[in-house]
């Protein structure tokens, strides 16, 4: 039975696994000095069409926290959306790794920050008692499965830079956002003003690992030491980096993300018209959020389905992954239809 609780329920996709196995040959220099790490970093520079600095860490919490910590001092603050993963689901890691920088949550419909809400937080106060905003972080695709357009990102980044803030993007589902937008990744990252991107690998089909991509290379000074201190420098780095090669070499990352997005569309289309069920957000990536009557939720759980109800809204979240089968979507829909009757 496939589940819809999270896109990290899925296993390793074949392309990543093949690359991982290929890297398991003989000895190779440790701590990122190996050829795979160099090749993947070059691939990412080619993908983003710019000479960025690339680091690999084990998970999204580490990527976000260490990136944010490198962008601000402990007495400064990070503006985020009120349902941002960095604020709600990282157990205080951004505050911990930055030695106390404060997260300032802003409201915004559809999981997105707005220029007005961010301006209000930046300009609210300028006195010694207020933790000065120094970073703006946005999530692409958002926690509720919507996707920022490049012009929305550019407007937020222009505002941030005007006030001296750096721009960080939590791209745990960057692949899904890219597939959804159908644009070159550069168009909605550094060309739109993003300084640092945490590019999610795990959710797109890797066994483990995220890439932290510094478009503004001045900001990556000492980042390697930060990773080491935080226990995030893999000694056998090739096994963290090599799976990326399999994803990037023949476009598997976008193919799989497009498939996950298509499965979410299939689910959303099926939910449409079932009485008592309402989609809560436009489905633009691989997540479907809907309100479900309590008996339907408990009935689904009794039938063995797993899904979350605590992310961002009071509805249910169904996530699709690179391996989600159309038959699994249809089986879930069939159970929802039966229970909703
Ligand atoms: C928006 C977002 N950011 C980051 C992460 C990465 O978190 P983790 O530390 O579990 O890899 C997740 C995972 O659920 C996420 O949804």
User: Residue 136 belongs to what H/E stretch?
Assistant: strand 132-139
pLDDT-above-90 percentage for the chain: 96
User: Residue 240 belongs to what H/E stretch?
Assistant: helix 238-249
Q: Is the pTM of this model over 0.85?
A: yes
| 3-class SS of residue 119 | helix
Nearest CA to ligand 1 atom 10: 60
Q: What is the pLDDT of residue 144?
A: 96
CB 202 near ligand 1, within 6 Å: yes
Q: What is the dihedral of CA 308, 94, 156, 264, to 10 degrees?
A: -20
CA of 341 to the centre of ligand 1 (A): 35
pLDDT in tens, 271-304: 998 999 999 999 999 999 999 999 999 999 999 9
Residue for token digits 């999204």? 60
CB 59 near ligand 1, within 6 Å: yes
Residue pair 99/75 in contact (Cβ under 8 Å)? The answer is: no
CB 286 near ligand 1, within 6 Å: no
CB 139 near ligand 1, within 6 Å: yes
Peptide bond between residue 286 and the one before it cis (omega within 30 degrees of 0)? no
- Look at 5-19, 21-35, 58-72, 298-312 and tell me which has the smallest mean pLDDT: 298-312
Q: What is the pLDDT of residue 312?
A: 65
Query: Tokens representing 53?
Result: 């600095």
Question: What whole-number distance in Å separates Cα of residue 314 and Cα of residue 129?
Answer: 35
pLDDT in tens, 219-233: 999 999 999 999 999
Nearest CA to ligand 1 atom 5: 60
CA of 147 to the centre of ligand 1 (A): 16
CA of 127 to the centre of ligand 1 (A): 34
**Residue 147 clears pLDDT 80, i.e. is over it:** yes
Q: What is the pLDDT of residue 313?
A: 66
Please, what's the b/e burial string for 327-337 (b: 16 or more CB within 10 A of its CB; e: otherwise)?
ebbeebbebbb
**Residue 201 clears pLDDT 80, i.e. is over it:** yes
Query: Tokens representing 142?
Result: 């958002």
Domains of the chain: 14-249 (3.40.640.10), 252-340 (3.90.1150.10)
Indicate the top mutation candidate among 6, 8, 61, 144 to test ligand 1's pocket, ranked by most ligand atoms within 8 A of CB.
61
Q: What is the pLDDT of residue 182?
A: 98
**Residue 199 clears pLDDT 80, i.e. is over it:** yes
CB 142 near ligand 1, within 6 Å: no
**Residue 311 clears pLDDT 80, i.e. is over it:** no
CA of 69 to the centre of ligand 1 (A): 17
**Residue 310 clears pLDDT 80, i.e. is over it:** no
**Residue 55 clears pLDDT 80, i.e. is over it:** yes
pLDDT in tens, 122-141: 999 999 999 999 999 999 99
Question: What whole-number distance in Å separates Cα of residue 332 and Cα of residue 310?
Answer: 20
Give residues with Cβ within 8 angstroms of 218, minimum separation 6: none
Question: What whole-number distance in Å separates Cα of residue 138 and Cα of residue 4?
Answer: 24
Residue pair 98/69 in contact (Cβ under 8 Å)? The answer is: yes
Give residues with Cβ within 8 angstroms of 76, minimum separation 6: 101, 102, 131, 132, 133, 134, 135
| 3-class SS of residue 196 | strand
- Choose among 307, 277, 314: nearest CA to 292: 277
């Amino acid at each position: 039975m496939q589940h819809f609780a999270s896109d990290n329920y899925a296993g390793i996709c074949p392309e990543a696994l093949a690359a991982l196995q290929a890297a398991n040959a003989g000895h190779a220099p440790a701590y990122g000095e190996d050829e795979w790490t160099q090749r993947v970093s070059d691939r990412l520079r080619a993908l983003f069409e710019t000479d960025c600095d690339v680091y690999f860490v084990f998970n999204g919490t580490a990527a976000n926290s260490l990136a944010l910590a490198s962008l601000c001092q402990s007495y400064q603050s990070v503006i985020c959306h009120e349902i941002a993963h960095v604020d709600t689901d990282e157990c205080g890691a951004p505050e911990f790794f930055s030695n106390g920088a404060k997260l300032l949550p802003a409201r915004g419909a559809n999981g997105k920050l707005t220029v007005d809400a961010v301006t209000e937080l930046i300009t609210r106060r300028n006195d010694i008692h207020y933790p000065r905003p120094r970073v703006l972080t946005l999530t692409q695709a958002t926690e509720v499965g919507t996707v920022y357009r490049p012009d929305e990102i550019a407007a937020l980044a222009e505002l941030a830079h005007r006030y001296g803030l750096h721009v960080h993007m939590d791209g745990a589902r960057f692949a899904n956002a890219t597939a959804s937008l159908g644009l070159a990744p550069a168009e909605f990252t550094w060309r739109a003003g993003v300084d640092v991107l945490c590019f999610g690998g795990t959710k797109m089909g890797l066994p483990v690992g995220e890439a932290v991509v510094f478009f503004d290379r001045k900001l990556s000074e000492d980042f390697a030491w930060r990773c080491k201190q935080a226990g995030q420098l893999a000694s056998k780095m090739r096994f963290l980096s090599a799976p990326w090669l399999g994803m990037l070499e023949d476009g598997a990352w976008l193919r799989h993300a497009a498939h996950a997005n298509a499965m979410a569309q299939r689910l959303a289309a099926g939910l449409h018209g079932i009485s008592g069920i309402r989609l809560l957000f436009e489905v633009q990536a691989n997540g479907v959020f809907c309100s479900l009557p309590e008996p339907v939720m408990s009935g689904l759980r009794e039938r063995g389905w797993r899904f979350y109800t605590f992310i961002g809204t009071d509805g249910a979240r169904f996530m699709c992954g690179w391996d989600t089968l159309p038959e699994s979507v249809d089986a879930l829909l069939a159970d929802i239809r039966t229970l909703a009757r």
